[in-house]
């Protein structure tokens, strides 16, 4: 999910969460396929949970902020660092005139470090029509000539794609998520589970069908 530049007032990464976005080959670069998880929680107080419950009532018909995951949605950040993405999500800034602000549960950095920002039992606003069902995973990747080009950069980066695959496999095992329920932001509107009471639809093109098929084939 391409993210805007972080506002100046965005919260800074919590020191206890580890060096978000820092490149340190000796300490943060896992082998391809390994899963190195760093806890880097964004602020998600009761007020934001209530914003999520109100959003869910408007869009899904049930006032809840709790998540029982049955799907995973893949995104890329359209920005260069995990830290800037975390700052955007921390700010809880209205998006399309609504609160809560956008967020995702995980960010996978280029070096393969996985940052968990939100518990998988809490809904994040990352994909219209699926936020009540899906875990969101952002992968650090700048925008470029096309969305397919950006997807291909991630698929060709061994540490990052290896960690993303390992993360999805772990989530599939934990929540019994079928590979067919691992989708891209670009394919969300066409999934059978998609629903939105307001008629809103996704306009993002990250993880196009052909690139998603490659990702699924590696799971």
61: Cβ contacts below 8 Å, ≥ 6 apart = 197
pLDDT of residue 218: 98
> By the 8 A CB rule, do 113 and 36 touch?
yes
Q: Are strands 134-139 and 106-108 parallel, antiparallel or unpaired?
A: parallel
Query: Does 24 reside within a domain?
Result: no
79: Cβ contacts below 8 Å, ≥ 6 apart = 2, 3, 5, 85, 140, 142
37: preceding bond cis by omega (within 30 degrees): no
Number of domains in the chain: 1
Query: Does 87 reside within a domain?
Result: yes
pLDDT digits (tens, 9 = 90+) for 49-87: 999 999 999 999 999 999 999 999 999 999 999 999 999
Distance (Å, rounded) from C-alpha 161 to C-alpha 219? 11
**Stretch (H or E) spanning 116:** strand 113-116
Residue 88 phi/psi, 5-degree rounding, is -60, -45
Query: Does 127 reside within a domain?
Result: yes
Query: Does 196 reside within a domain?
Result: yes
pLDDT of residue 3: 38
Query: Does 108 reside within a domain?
Result: yes
pLDDT digits (tens, 9 = 90+) for 168-179: 999 999 999 999
Distance (Å, rounded) from C-alpha 177 to C-alpha 170? 10
What is the domain range of residue 205?
39-218
Query: Does 28 reside within a domain?
Result: no
Tell me which residue of 26, 28, 133 sits closest to 82, measured CA to CA. 28
Tell me which residue of 130, 91, 124, 131 sits closest to 107, measured CA to CA. 124
Strand partners, 71: 134
The pTM assigned to this predicted structure is 0.86
Query: Does 181 reside within a domain?
Result: yes
Query: Does 72 reside within a domain?
Result: yes
Give the domain CATH number at 204.
3.40.80.10
Could you read off the pLDDT tens digit of each residue along the chain, which spans 219 residues?
443 333 322 332 332 333 344 333 323 344 445 689 999 999 999 999 999 999 999 999 999 999 999 999 999 999 999 999 999 999 999 999 999 999 999 999 999 999 999 999 999 999 999 999 999 999 999 999 999 999 999 999 999 999 999 999 999 999 999 999 999 999 999 999 999 999 999 999 999 999 999 999 999
117: Cβ contacts below 8 Å, ≥ 6 apart = 40, 41, 42, 86, 89, 103, 104, 105, 106, 107
């Amino acid at each position: 999910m391409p993210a805007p530049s972080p506002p100046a007032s965005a919260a800074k990464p919590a020191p206890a969460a580890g060096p978000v976005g820092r490149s340190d080959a000796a300490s943060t670069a896992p082998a391809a396929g390994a899963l190195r998880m760093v806890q880097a929680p964004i602020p998600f107080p009761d007020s934001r949970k209530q914003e999520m419950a109100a959003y869910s009532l408007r869009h899904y018909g049930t006032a809840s902020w709790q998540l029982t995951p049955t799907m995973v949605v893949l995104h890329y950040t359209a920005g260069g660092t995990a830290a800037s993405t975390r700052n955007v999500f921390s700010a809880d800034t209205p998006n399309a005139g609504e609160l809560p602000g956008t967020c995702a549960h995980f960010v996978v950095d280029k070096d393969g470090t996985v940052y968990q920002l939100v518990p998988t039992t809490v809904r994040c606003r990352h994909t219209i029509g699926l936020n009540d069902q899906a875990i969101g995973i952002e992968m650090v990747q700048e925008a470029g000539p096309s969305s397919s080009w950006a997807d291909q950069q991630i698929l060709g980066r061994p540490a990052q794609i290896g960690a993303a695959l390992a993360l999805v496999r772990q989530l599939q095992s934990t929540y019994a998520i079928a590979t067919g329920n691992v989708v891209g932001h670009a394919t969300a509107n066409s999934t059978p589970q998609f629903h939105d009471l307001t008629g809103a639809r996704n306009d993002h093109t990250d993880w196009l069908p052909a690139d998603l098929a490659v990702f699924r084939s590696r799971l």
